Structure 1
Amino acid sequence: MSIATPVLSSTRRALRPLIAALAVGSFIAGASVPAAARGPDGIADVAEKVIDSVVNISTTSTVEAKNSGEGGGNRGATPQLPPGSPFEEFFEDFFKNRGGRGGEKGGGMQPRKTNSLGSGFIIDASGFVVTNNHVIDGADEITVIMNDGTKIKAELIGVDKKTDLALLKFTPVKPVTAVKFGDSDKLRLGEWVIAIGNPFSLGGSVTAGIVSARNREINNGPFDSYIQTDASINRGNSGGPLFNLDGEVVGVNTLIISPTGGSIGLGFAVPSKTVAGVIEQLREYKEVRRGWLGVRIQPVTDEIAESLNIKPARGALIAGVDDKGPAKPAGLEPGDVVVKFDGKDVKEPKDLSRIVAGTAVGKAVDVQIIRKGKEETKKVTLGRMEDDKPVQASLKAAPEAEKPATQKALGLDLTALSKDLRTKYKIKDSVKGVVVTGVDSGSDAAEKRLAAGDVIVEVAQEAVTNAADVKKRIDAVKKDGKKSVLMLVSNGEGELRFVALSLQ
């Protein structure tokens, strides 16, 4: 003990400068953790500035109750319990009281009112409010609840189900605070954002986080391109604003991904660039009028890009052109690759879909395409997208026909189209080409989901009418040193798509 003590003291004296430095470092690090956890100091200032513009949305809906049948009273709505169960009488009395008519013969539960709560925000001092469509969908009454508790009835101006947005209007009883849209395109990954809303009906709540991702596609709709954030968003936050640190709305909080129903840091907001355009149209027309090009598009894979001499792979490949659409008279054709639309770059098909939808109906725009390796520009006047799709009539099964002679190429059994084959595979008379009657299971064609009944319309952008044409075009492409061959394929209904098959 006595020997160890001087040695310990000597060591401490020698290490004193290092210990002091570590202590200072620990203090600084310890001070920085809470600072990082609470985010920038400006969050409180932003929240104080915009909190009165955020409102709660209360809706009331009438739900029709189902009757269990004559003499059943309300028993159809009660839990199914074993006869004589001690809870049987309790539940029966409970549901009778809710039904109003009890167990009278022919009686049933009366229609009842249900309430739900969401969020919204004021964009105009005259009382316009933005929220989600799913917050007010099916509502009989809509009430806007201000931050000070004032309740005011609101009317529905219009909705857009494709982006899940709705516009409401109420008459303010006193001056209100309105907020402006910011530019969501300028958001950076890691940038701080603030969500304000009505989670779990608790009233105005402020949470903060960062932008985790932009242009996030989660297959929730035709135009989904969400801002992903780890700011806490829960049930009731739907329709509420996502602010940047300038107090501008950069998104509308719309949904979360969660196995529990609570926030796990995966919240998604519709970007303000989308919201502003939709709301502008709802204010003017009470509906959304989207541009329509009249084409079917697909991605440009590396194989397709190699076949079309496009470097690097980019754009939206036109697989089909609507005979009644704007693209047809403008000269757009299957096989064209759109790389720029109205001055905006098209990197992939979803870019083209969003740009076209956001372009004014009737506007004449320049469409830059690549056709057979060369760039061209076409002028297109956009039509209006129609929501209704024609219902295809069902076709009866056709009898088996005698199997004609076939030729093989790239794992495909190819046969000239005949009346019997059209009947067997339900192929319309307007579809021209060479029919696939079989596919080798281990071939690239099978991996690309070609199947019996598909029709090869073009090979290497040249029309084919028989199996010999197909083989001839394939051999020509091989001689050119290509690694794959591009085929235009139709289904029986005439819907086209491009498929690049490996030649190796």
Structure 2
Amino acid sequence: MRRTAQLFFVALLAGGVTLGAYKLFFEKEQFTFVAQNETTPFLTTSMPTSPKGAGINEVDFTVAAEKTINAVVHVKNMTVSPANPLAEFFYGFKGGQTPQIGTGSGVIISPDGYIVTNNHVIDKANSLEITLNNNKSYEAEIVGTDPSSDIALLKIEVENPLPYLAFGDSDNAKIGEWVLAVGNPFNLTSTVTAGIVSAKARSISTNRDQSFIQTDAAVNPGNSGGALVNTNGDLIGINTAITSQTGSYVGYSFAVPSNIAKKVVDDLLEFGKVQKGILGISALSLDSPQAKEMNIDQVNGVYVAGVEDESGAEEAGLKEGDIIKQVGNIKVSKFSELTGYLSSKRPGDVVEVLVDRGGETKTFEVELKKRQTEILPVMGLQVKNLSKEDQKKYKTKKGVKITNVPERYRGYELEDKVMILIDDNEIRDVEDAKELFQKITRYGRTSITLLGENGERERLIFQ
């Protein structure tokens, strides 16, 4: 009995020593240190990261992929190159009149067959063929296009309802959020790639007002017009561009935000063309020499360099020198964020604009209006809509006033005259003028009908 008690005591002592050694040398305590007497409110913790890899494996892409893949289609664009007049003259046949095929992607946005894609995917098409993910093919018609946003709307006639995607709210997309790009790269069938939102309100051209979602999901030739969706399967963008010397994916790509795409689609269905709401300000580029001279190159916001006459901005009270900090519920730190928000609005919409004026915060309610001035393609004429005074002076309610003329047309005395017709097509406003000038070529003949200050009419032919 005494020997048993001794053995028990030795075993108990050995167990205590082993447990103490483990606690002292091997076990790492998990707790949070809080410094009570320090001014910085930082917390330091030794809590381990997720055993699943800091959350990366906790994201499930399968639901979004299943919802998306059948709503993305293959778009085949058949174009015929124009006849070569020199070949016809010398050899007696229409050389160069060969068919060319381009491909891209599209997204079904309604069960009755409306499809959104990029304008550059279907540009100059003689015929369009849509192939669904189940390999059924349909001939498509173009409902409308908007080259400035690179969005086009197509329609196919179907017997049964189609799977489709609902537009999400791209304003709610967050940098770092997981997204999927779905399309038909390299003429393959529907392909899904994953990435994150790398940036928002990204502009990739100095010549156009753009506001793209940037992502690192792999996008290659053929993906254009495909879907960018979040992990819920909501459509938050239309994949449109990559910037690469090789023409293939190099780590980032760009998508038209869904709020802009939806607004373009709604306008095309309701009005036949896009209705653009203009704030009525000109902004100063912060990397320009002028901004550096004025010491405003570090401004966080949009610096108002000018306010257009009879614009919503002028009527609301915005002034040169104001710095726009927020519009609606969107904070503004650069011009592309402002244009991205306004691209989802129409003339007549009222937006709340918060500005910094000399260190004081002011808020204005601005009614968006149609664009009052345009620089016309091909000829480069600057025109503006007629004011009430102009209508009385020139005795017309339609047409546009030429306010600036490039040097090569100075001899025609076009400035301050009202343009009312282009090739017998009536001009109502600057949008009509821009649309008509986009259809003319540098190699054809164009006639322009003008009104002088006394109502005299003249017609000029340019070639």
Is 1:56 the counterpart of 2:74? The answer is yes
Indicate the residue corresponding to 1:224 in structure 2.
Answer: 210
Q: Is residue 347–residue 370 contact of structure 2 (8 Å, CA) maintained in 1?
A: yes
Deviations 1:23-77 (A, max 9, x none): xxxxxxxx989x96xx66732343233221111111211211324457743xxxx
Inter-partner Cα distance in structure 2 for 1:268 and 1:285: 28
Q: 1:220 to 1:236 in 2, by over 3 A?
A: farther
The question of whether the paired residues in 1 share the 8 Å contact of 2:104 and 2:224 is answered with yes
Please tell me the residue identity of whatever aligns with 1:238.
Answer: S
SS in 2 for 1:384: coil
SS at match of 1:42: coil
Distance 2:110 2:362 in 1: 44
1:323 equivalenced with 2:309 (yes/no): yes
Match for residue 9 of structure 1? none
In 1, Cα distance between the equivalents of 2:189 and 2:265?
25
Query: What CA deviation, in whole Å up to 9, does each residue of 1:153-207 have, x standing for no partner?
Result: 1111111212211111111132210111223333344433222211111222222
Alignment of 1:207-222 (within 5 A): 207-219=193-205, 222=208
Report the Cα distance in structure 2 between the residues aligned to 1:383 and 1:136, rounded to whole angstroms: 30
Give the match for residue 444 of structure 2: none
Amino acid in the other structure paired with 1:250: I
Q: Are 1:256 and 1:267, in contact at CA under 8 Å, matched by a contact in 2?
A: yes
In structure 2, relative to structure 1, the CA distance for the partners of 1:259 and 1:143 (3 Å cut) is same
Q: 1:387 to 1:127 in 2, by over 3 A?
A: farther
State the partner residue of 2:122: 136
CA contact (8 A) 2:63 2:233 kept: no
Counterpart residue number, 1:393: 405
Partner SS for 2:165: coil
Match of 2:84 in 1: 66
Alignment CA distance shift 1:233-1:324 (3 Å): same
CA contact (8 A) 2:259 2:344 kept: no
Q: Per the alignment, in what secondary structure is the counterpart of residue 178 of structure 1?
A: coil
* Amino acid across the alignment from 1:132: N
Query: Are the equivalent residues in 2 in contact too, given 1:258–1:266 (CA < 8 A)?
Result: no
Structure 1 residues 279, 200: closer, same or farther in 2, change over 3 A?
same
Q: How many Å apart are 1:380 and its aligned residue? A: 3.0
Q: Give the TM-score normalised by the residue count of structure 2.
A: 0.63
Q: In 2 relative to 1, CA 64–70 (structure 1 residues): closer, same or farther, beyond 3 Å?
A: closer
Instruction: Give, in whole Å, the separation in 1 of the partners of 2:89 and 2:299.
Output: 69
Alignment of 1:176-191 (within 5 A): 176-191=162-177
Matched-pair contact (CA < 8 Å) for 2:68–2:182: no
Contact 2:63 2:232 in 1 (8 A): no
1: CA distance, partners of 2:373 / 2:131: 33
Q: How does 1:289-368 map to 2 (within 5 A)?
A: 289-299=275-285, 313-342=299-328, 344-368=330-354
Q: Deviations over 1:325-382 (max 9, x none)?
A: 3333333332233333345433333333333343331234443334344344444322
Deviations along 1:82-123, one digit per CA (max 9) or x if unpaired, are xxxxxxxxxxxxxxxxxxxxxxxx334162222211101111
- Amino acid in structure 1 at the alignment position of 2:333: K
Tell me which residue corresponds to 1:489. Answer: none
Q: Does 2:80 match 1:46?
A: no
Post-superposition offset of 1:131 = 0.5
Quick check: 1:305–1:313 contact (8 Å CA) kept in 2? no
Change (3 A) 1:150 1:316: same
Identity of aligned residues (%): 36
**1:262-284 Cα shifts (integer Å, max 9, x gaps):** 22222222222322222222222
Q: What is the CA distance between 1:285 and its match in structure 2?
A: 1.9
* Aligned pairs for 1:366-445 within 5 A: 366-385=352-371, 388-389=374-375, 391=381, 392-395=404-407
Q: C-alpha distance in 2, partners of 1:304/1:165?
A: 34
SS in 1 for 2:154: strand
How far is 1:242 from its partner? Answer: 1.4
Question: Structure 1 residues 305 and 347 mapped into 2: Cα distance closer, same or farther (>3 Å)?
Answer: farther
Q: Could you tell me whether the CA contact under 8 Å between 1:289 and 1:385 is conserved in 2?
A: no
The alpha-carbon distance between structure 1 residues 304 and 253, as it changes in their structure 2 partners (threshold 3 A), is closer
SS in 2 for 1:320: strand
> Distance between the aligned counterparts of 2:196 and 2:365, measured in 1?
41
Three-state SS of the structure 2 residue aligned to 1:152 is: strand
2: CA distance, partners of 1:336 / 1:184: 28
Q: Secondary structure at the match of 1:149?
A: coil
Q: 2:142 aligns with which of 149, 152, 156?
A: 156
**Equivalent residue number for residue 192 of structure 2:** 206
Contact 2:179 2:194 in 1 (8 A): yes
**Root-mean-square deviation (Å):** 3.5
Aligned-pair distance for 1:291? 0.9
Distance of 1:286 and 1:115 partners within structure 2 = 27
* CA 1:141–1:352: 2 relative to 1, 3 Å: same
- Measured in 1, the distance between the counterparts of 2:197 and 2:332 equals 24
SS in 1 for 2:61: helix
Q: Aligned in 2, Cα 1:66/1:218: closer, same or farther, shift over 3 Å?
A: same
Unpaired runs of at least 5, structure 1: 1-20, 22-30, 74-105, 397-427, 429-504
For the residue of structure 1 that corresponds to 2:117, the secondary structure is strand
The 3 A distance-change label for structure 1 pair 250 and 328 is: closer
1:288 is displaced (CA, Å) by: 1.4
Structure 2 spans left out of the alignment, 5+ residues = 1-25, 27-50, 382-403, 409-414, 416-463
* 1:194 aligned onto 2:216: no
TM-score when scaled to structure 1? 0.58
1:199–1:32: structure 2 CA closer, same or farther, 3 Å change rule?
A: same
Matched, 1:111 2:97: yes
Contact 2:182 2:227 in 1 (8 A): yes
Residues 216 and 379 (structure 1 numbering): CA distance in 2 closer, same or farther, change over 3 Å?
Answer: closer
